[in-house]
Chains A and B, each alone.
Chain A
Amino acid sequence: MTDVAYISVPLWYLPLLVLIPAATAAGVLPWLKRRARTRTVPENDPDWSIPPVAEGFGQGISVIHRWDVRCKIVTLLAYSFAVASLRHLSAAAAALGLSLVVLLISKVWFRKVMLRVVALTGFLGMLLVVMPLTVPVHPGDTLVVFGSMDWLVVNLRGVVLAATIAAKAMAIALLMEPLLSTAPLPVTLYGLSRLGVPDMAGQMVLLSYRYLHVFTHEARRMTAGMQARGFAKKTDMDTLRALANFLGMLFVRSFERTERVFDAMQARGYNGRFPSPCDLRIQWQDILKTGIWVAAGAALVFFDYLKG
């Protein structure tokens, strides 16, 4: 059993350590967000909420596009759990590297990947700030002390732990684009239903996804109306009341809209299921890809296990 090791650094390191990451985050994050948001989807990026025309399916542009969707879902889900179970930073970093390779192979739209990474930064940023300061001190830990301020102690074990989690989360997040945008959403959901997920759940996801844009549009129109009447958000009761009415109105309108949509769907013969978007056939290449991928996941877990 080793004792706790201390590293003493002069006090002036502290502002350096705090300010530089904070300034980087404050500068880079909004820039990334803006960049990712302002770019619209380029023309060659297919809208993956639209079912494919039968003959166009299965002739995608990459190895992953041509992978049977059922194999793809099962493999990626199992692999994600394998990655989530890793305990060492080196194994997590290897998983991250592997995800980057897959990203290159799958030729997905890079800006959408960036949006996902940006969405993760809030939670992971909190972990990275909080964990080094709050992780309990164990024998063998290395603590960094700033000058004579003994109440502020950074535990390096916390830094490593948070970094491991961040690497794992990123590794899985980077795989979501190759999973989803290499097949249209209806095909992915059809694959899920063929795997035993109730039809109903897939259809609800599809409908919700469709309505999402309708309601975002509705909300934007209502916001514009409120601004035209001179509404500005403040921290007070009136703002809360106005926003509550806004939400209430959003619900009322969405329900009214459903009535009409439902009638229209019934008129077109909706009986609780959509037609299948495609035929799925598993070929030996699909099994091979699944095998390779599962082997990679197993190798990661084994590597992690070897490290103790």
Chain B
Amino acid sequence: MHISDGVLPVAVTIGGYAVSAGLAAWSARRIHNRDLPKVAVVTSAFFVASLVHIPFGPTSAHLLLPGLAGALLGPAAFLAIGLALLLQSLLFQFGGLTALGANALMMGIPAMICGWFFQTFKGSTLKRQTIVGAVAGAMGTVMAAVGLALMLMTGGEDFFGVAKIALAAHVPVIVIEGVMSGFTIGFLARVQPALLEPLFHKTAASAHD
């Protein structure tokens, strides 16, 4: 769920912009210039992936994928997610322009934490990678949902009810997201394990020479 314009207090939206600009700059500095197209591709692939709807009883949920973004991109995940949100906001009005900074924090910080978690604990066996990937996926959504609730609560006690309901609405998504991330990471571990290496952890010197 993206926060739209006019919900958050102005101080929070401006603060969100400031903090996420700093984080994006930090994230960008860990990327080599020649890897920019690669990050751009992942940005748009995530964009498309988040449009995939998973059936859930009579309704459906769309994926958020912060965990998977972190596992694939490492520190570059913040930049990729920030730009994906900018595109979503500019092109489709998912999330408001003024709330962009807050939305980027809500999704980008979980992605980086999940990326760190996955890289630290992934081990070397397929089974372990799948499980750690599932945990990272679920964890990413939990953190994003909590972030959303906290952001909404900065609006004052009038928003507590909305925050609670938004949090509850994420419970099924957390399960689906965990299972999906686990399976996807398992698939990638079998098919293209190189993708799960922290692409931008070290300098990308070896990638193209």
Interface on A for B, CB 8 Å cutoff?
A: 77, 80-81, 83-86, 92, 115-117, 119-120, 123-124, 126-127, 130-131, 133-136, 158, 161, 164-169, 172-173, 176, 180, 198, 200-201, 203-205, 207-212, 214-216, 218-219, 233-235, 237, 239-241, 243-252, 254-255, 257-258, 261-262, 265-266, 272
Contact = CB atoms under 8 A, between A and B. Distances in A.
Contact of B158 (A131, A166, A176): A131
A255 B10 CA distance: 39
B19 to A, nearest CB: 16
Q: Can you list the 7 inter-chain pairs with the closest CB atoms, starting with the nearest?
A: A134-B161, A168-B6, A244-B183, A248-B187, A207-B40, A211-B44, A116-B93
A130 B24 CA distance: 34
Contacts of B43: 204, 208, 211
B184 A247 contact: yes
A235 B56 contact: yes
Determine the main DSSP class of A at the interface with B. helix
Contact of B5 (A80, A239, A251, A257): A80
A198 to B, nearest CB: 7
Contacts of A169: 4-7, 96
B161 A262 contact: no
B45 interface: yes
A167 B4 CA distance: 11
B40 A208 contact: yes
B116 interface: no
B87 A240 contact: no
Contact of B13 (A84, A134, A239, A249): A84
Interface in B2-44: 2-8, 10, 13-14, 24-25, 28, 33-34, 36-44
B49 interface: yes
27 contacts: A83-B6, A85-B10, A116-B92, A131-B161, A134-B165, A165-B6, A168-B6, A169-B7, A169-B96, A172-B96, A173-B4, A200-B33, A203-B36, A204-B79, A204-B83, A208-B43, A235-B55, A240-B183, A244-B182, A246-B52, A249-B191, A251-B195, A252-B188, A252-B195, A254-B45, A255-B41, A266-B34
A189 to B, nearest CB: 10
Contact of A262 (B34, B52, B94, B180): B34
B4 A245 contact: no
A119 B90 CA distance: 12
A101 B115 CA distance: 46
B104 interface: no
Given A123-B2, A172-B5, A243-B180, 16 more contacts: A81-B14, A84-B6, A84-B10, A84-B98, A127-B162, A165-B7, A172-B96, A207-B44, A211-B44, A212-B48, A216-B48, A247-B180, A255-B41, A261-B37, A262-B34, A262-B38
Contacts of A203: 36, 40
A116 B97 CA distance: 12
A27 to B, nearest CB: 18
Given A169-B96, A208-B40, A255 B13 contact: no
